[in-house]
Amino acid sequence: MAQETRHETTRLDHHHHDSKMGSWQCTSIYQTRALPSI
């Protein structure tokens, strides 16, 4: 399950990367979620 979650998060980061504001917000959530994910 952890592996699938990581893949989904990475995809969101790329999708939000298109948006300048979204990229920043997505990056913050990605790092915060990556810590507890491990």
25 vs 1, 3, 9, 34, CA distance in Å? Answer: 24, 22, 12, 14
Per-residue pLDDT, 4: 55
Per-residue pLDDT, 37: 55
Per-residue pLDDT, 7: 53
Ranges of residues in the chain with a pLDDT under 70 are 1-38
Tokens linked to 7: 């893949």
Q: Where are the domains of the chain?
A: 2-37
Its pTM stands at 0.15
Per-residue pLDDT, 16: 47
Per-residue pLDDT, 33: 57
Per-residue pLDDT, 28: 57
